[in-house]
């Protein structure tokens, strides 16, 4: 049967706002998004909350619940005590639009600046051959649902607006790593780009991004540290530098690219 719970939800816009109190019925198996929808349907029809799939697949309903960045659709009410107040606020790193909705265009702008996959020129569609084992690292990063929770928790930009220009954030680091590890991507400057244009060096591997990732992508270990190591190799290893000059990585046959 349902229980009566205390909710506090941030309401307002870019000019300011406040936490508003709600006593809401909560039923068995419900998630925080169900409760927000109940508030909409019964008390506040204009409560702004972004959502789509309600199954943890689209990454739309990102917010902060009791201060922790979460997907509202995957936050089960049974994880809170019945007497516990549940506080829902918008994700902090991005500008407020209204209530729980924020302007996440930063992430799209950074994606636009990120060089796209470059197909291998000599292969026609249908001729791509890759081994499963060779694509699994990139596939892990392609699980990303773009909820931007990693972006919002990242302390480099969370309270440092001034870093946003130079820093693309964990979401884009895994995109860089994904392309770098793609067996057939024809570009060979992914590490340099990550270092020079995405601000990879600003990350000091506190792993907060990995902790909040609802897809359990090992962002720090498998993408960021891997990319940092590759940057070091490329920059400082004389053999690698010589090898690049002789073999011209970008002209090599795709099967042996990586």
Partner 1 sequence: MTNIERHTYDVVVIGAGGAGLRAAIEARLAGKKTAIISKSLFGKAHTVMAEGGAAAAMGNVNSKDNANVHFCDTMRGGKFLNNFRMAELHAQESPARIWELETYGALFDRTKDGKISQRNFGGHEYPRLAHVGDRTGLELIRTLQQKIVSLQQEDNEEFGDYEARLRVFDECTITEVFLDGGKVSGCFGYIRESGEFVVFEAPAIVLATGGVGKSYKVTSNSWEYTGDGHALALRAGATLINMEFLQFHPTGMVWPPSVKGILVTESVRGDGGVLRNSEDKRFMFDYVPDVFRQQYAETEEEADRWYDDQENNRRPPELLPRDEVARAINAEIKAGRGTASGGVYLDVSTRMPAEVIKRKLPSMYHQFKELADVDITKQPMEVGPTCHYIMGGVEVDPDTTAACVPGLFAAGEVSGGMHGSNRLGGNSLSDLLVFGKRAGEYASAHASATKRVTVADSAVAAAAETALAPLERGESCENPYRLQQELQQVMGDLVGLIRTRTELEGSLTRLAGLKERIAKVGVTGGRRYNPGWHLALDLRNMLVVSEATARAALEREESRGGHTRDDFPAMRPEWRCINLVCTLADQSIGLTRKPVPAMRPELLRLFKRAELTKYLTEEELAEFDAIAGQGSEN
Binding stretches for partner 1 (CB under 8 A) = 13, 27-31, 34, 40-42, 45-60, 74, 76, 97-99, 101, 103-104, 108, 111-112, 114-117, 119, 125-126, 128-132, 135, 138-139, 142-146, 179, 182, 185, 216
What is the smallest separation between the CB atom of 232 and partner 1, expressed in angstroms?
A: 26
Return the number of the residue (126 or 238) whose C-beta is nearest partner 1: 126
What is the smallest separation between the CB atom of 132 and partner 1, expressed in angstroms?
A: 4
Return the number of the residue (191 or 228) whose C-beta is nearest partner 1: 191
Return the number of the residue (175 or 230) whose C-beta is nearest partner 1: 175
100 backbone φψ class: left, alpha, beta (φ>0; ψ -120 to 50): alpha
What is the smallest separation between the CB atom of 111 and partner 1, expressed in angstroms?
A: 6
DSSP string over the chain:
--EEEEEEEEEEETTEEEEEEEEEEE-TT-BHHHHHHHHHHHT-TT-----S-SSSSS---EEEETTEEEEGGG-BGGGS-TT--EEEE--TTS-EEETTEE--HHHHHHHHTSPPP---TT--TT-----HHHHHHHHHHHT-----HHHHH-HHHHS-GGGTTT---HHHHHHHHHHHT-TT-----HHHHHHHTS-GGG-----HHHHH-TT---IIIIIIIHHHHHHHHHHH-HHHHHHHHHH-GGGS-GGG--
Return the number of the residue (58 or 202) whose C-beta is nearest partner 1: 58
Residue 152 neighbours by CB under 8 Å, 6+ apart: 62, 64, 69, 91, 92, 93, 94, 158
Return the number of the residue (16 or 238) whose C-beta is nearest partner 1: 16
What is the smallest separation between the CB atom of 31 and partner 1, expressed in angstroms?
A: 6
What is the smallest separation between the CB atom of 36 and partner 1, expressed in angstroms?
A: 10
What is the smallest separation between the CB atom of 130 and partner 1, expressed in angstroms?
A: 5
What is the smallest separation between the CB atom of 143 and partner 1, expressed in angstroms?
A: 7
Return the number of the residue (17 or 202) whose C-beta is nearest partner 1: 17
Return the number of the residue (137 or 164) whose C-beta is nearest partner 1: 137
């Amino acid at each position: 049967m349902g229980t009566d719970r205390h909710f506090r939800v941030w309401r307002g816009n870019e000019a300011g706002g406040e936490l508003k109190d709600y006593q809401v019925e909560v039923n068995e198996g419900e998630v925080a998004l169900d409760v927000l929808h109940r508030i909409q349907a019964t008390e506040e029809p204009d409560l702004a909350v972004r959502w789509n799939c309600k199954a943890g697949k689209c990454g739309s309903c990102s917010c902060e619940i009791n201060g922790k960045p979460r997907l509202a659709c995957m936050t089960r009410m049974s994880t809170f005590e019945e007497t516990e107040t549940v506080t829902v606020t918008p994700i902090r790193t991005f500008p407020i639009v209204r209530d729980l909705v924020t302007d996440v265009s930063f992430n799209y702008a950074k994606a636009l600046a990120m060089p796209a996959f470059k197909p291998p020129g000599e292969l026609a569609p249908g001729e791509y051959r890759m081994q499963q084992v060779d694509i699994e690292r990139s596939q892990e990063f392609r699980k990303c649902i773009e909820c931007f929770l990693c972006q919002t928790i990242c302390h480099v930009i969370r309270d440092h607006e001034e870093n946003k220009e130079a820093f693309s954030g964990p979401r884009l680091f895994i995109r860089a790593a994904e392309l770098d590890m793609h067996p057939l991507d024809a570009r060979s400057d992914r590490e340099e780009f990550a270092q020079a244009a995405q601000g990879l060096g600003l990350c000091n591997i506190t792993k907060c991004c990995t902790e909040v990732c609802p897809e359990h992508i090992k962002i720090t270990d498998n993408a960021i540290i891997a990319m940092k190591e590759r940057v070091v190799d490329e920059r400082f290893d004389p053999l690698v530098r010589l090898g690049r000059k002789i073999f011209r990585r970008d002209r090599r046959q795709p099967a042996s690219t990586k």
